[in-house]
Amino acid sequence: MALEDAKKEVDLAFTQPERRGLAYENAFGGATSFLRRRYTKDLAGVDLAITGVPFDQAVTHRTGTRFGPRAVREASALQPFDLPYGWGFSPLEEFDIVDYGDVAFDYAKVSDFPDTLTAHIADILKAGPGTVTLGGDHYITFPILKAYAEKFGPLSLLHFDAHSDTWADDDFTRIDHGTMFYKAIKSGIVAPKSSVQVGIRTHNDDFMGVNVIDAREVHETGAAAVVKKIKAILGDRPTYLTFDIDCLDPAFAPGTGTPVWGGLTSWQVAAILRDLAGINLVGGDVVEVSPAYDTTGATAIAGAHVAHELICLYCWTRRKS
């Protein structure tokens, strides 16, 4: 059946008659929505909306992540043929998932961007679905968290990264991808005691009370122990998961702005994310994919896989019994 479908399926981002189903369109052709989901602004009946944020004006080093959403969408064309490995269910067939497209903003009015993004996410949440966002630099998580906190109250943050992004910065007009979680905690929208940072391997004098599982602990204790510790901290609290692709070692994800050696391997991340099934995930993002430094496409491929796993995590607790 898949072979027969492949002969006739094309541009499913626009021609897909239904929101549900696997896709067999040639991976190397067609319009590149995320996982070949339908592009739409109609959120009626939608369970989960994928959206892109092509913003990289908050970086401390290399720019280029504005092209991340496009690259991750293209890389995802390899994935919608089959069920996601190891999950035992098919979110693309069981849930209404759409590609909502990118946020619109004036690139020359950077100061307006945070409120624009918060409103963009808030509009989606008001319509019903959750979001998985494709970045963009990591600053984007702060405006997104504001929208989520309006709906859910203070959130638990599950943060995969080489950097804590909690460096002190009391100037809330600054737009910086290294200080936004300091501001999120100071603003009361993230509850640090029930939050976890995984893969950290850069120094910070103050982690703002967030629980840290650094990269060395992941390597030495293993994925199963890490998952057990994360679940104990999160409990059943509403959790937002943000994944900076530089959590992966540069050997696995070279295409990023601030790479740091000693990071997690692809298999460690895959095992951790799959075993986190059952956490109360309300939304998530994948950020800091920078195609200009991604000569093989490996980083965008990793980003697409992480985003697919976030979809699985979101849908896992929402399946019909």
Domains of the chain: 2-316 (3.40.800.10)
Task: Report the SS3 class of residue 214.
Answer: strand
The pLDDT of residue 320 is 75
Q: Find out whether 163 is annotated in a ligand binding site.
A: yes
Q: What is the pLDDT of residue 319?
A: 93
Mean pLDDT for the stretch of residues 133-147: 98
Tokens of 290: 């920078």
pLDDT at 156: 98
Q: What is the pLDDT of residue 3?
A: 63
pTM score above 0.85:
yes
Q: Does residue 321 have a pLDDT over 60?
A: no
Distance from C-alpha of 15 to C-alpha of 76, rounded to nearest angstrom: 18
pLDDT, position 283: 98
The beta strand positions in 19-81, using DSSP E, are 48-53
Mean pLDDT for 238-264 is 98
Q: How far apart are CA 58 and CA 140, in angstroms?
A: 9
Residue 6 confidence class, pLDDT cut points 50, 70, 90: confident
As a dihedral over the C-alpha atoms of residue 269, residue 271, residue 276, residue 278, rounded to 10 degrees, the angle is 140
Query: Which residue, 110, 119, 108, is CA-closest to 175?
Result: 110
Q: Residue 307 half-sphere exposure, CB side, CA atoms within 13 Å?
A: 37
Give the C-alpha separation, 271 to 265, whole Å: 10
Q: What is the pLDDT of residue 172?
A: 92
Q: CA-CA distance, 16 to 267, in Å (whole number)?
A: 33
How far apart CA 217 and CA 237 sit, in angstroms, is 24
Please give the structure tokens belonging to residue 97.
């998932």
φ/ψ region of 117 (left if φ > 0, alpha if ψ in -120 to 50, else beta) reads: alpha
Query: What mean pLDDT is predicted for residues 51-57?
Result: 98
Q: Are 199 and 160 in contact (CB under 8 A)?
A: yes
User: Residue 206 contacts by C-beta under 8 Å, 6 or more apart in sequence?
Assistant: 166, 168
pLDDT of 258 higher than 80: yes
Q: Does 246 count as an annotated binding residue?
A: yes
Q: Are 23 and 14 in contact (CB under 8 A)?
A: no
Coil/strand/helix, residue 147: helix
Q: Residues 96-119: what's their mean pLDDT?
A: 98
